Structure 1
């Protein structure tokens, strides 16, 4: 588990530039970045008003570092300098599923066979989480 320096994250994401923004969620924004090693990353910058406190952030980092499943994106590290709370994940090149579902031009790529495999993968991931967290 790596603790990332904020300066390195700023360089990797070009200071959270709009061109590198992958998406926006309830807990913050996600940006793509490239580490000096050349590794592509996805950086979740948690919003200040997300309601997630220090304890919740630390618990999430600890939980995600112990989870390993092929249907879950891998957490590489974190940064909590100053007011910043950042999670660094491996970059998944095909973007998120919603970009295929809600895009008129990409939607046709999701055949029923592909959709069923996605649903099965999600179900396997949820079962894994349920069993893992229950243990």
Structure 2
């Protein structure tokens, strides 16, 4: 009986030590914008991006849509982003730190073929945020 109790305790300790993997937290803005009391809703421009941990849009992926001109942290994708695809008519800067333009960053468009393999960027493991804009019309 003591052997059974010891074996059961060992099994339970192993199963609790290995928790089930959780999904990655998708990128989100640092702060949500709330309308003041009594203000009218205003339509905002938004840009969507597809972000993945693997080359060629493989691995864990999320598609998120957030307002333009806002620094968005990559959350669990920080340092693990190897594919990044903005929506059409959206330009994004994949950046180190909290949208630190003093460090090297990637300027990405929806039609850039290099978006599917960012592993060649020597700093990609330091990517932490992105900022999307609507490109200027020529």
TM-score, normalised relative to structure 2: 0.25
Larger RCO: 1 or 2 (CA < 8 Å, sep 6+): 2
TM-score, normalised relative to structure 1: 0.25
Larger % of strand: which?
2
Larger % of helix: which?
1
| Larger-gyration structure (1/2) | 2
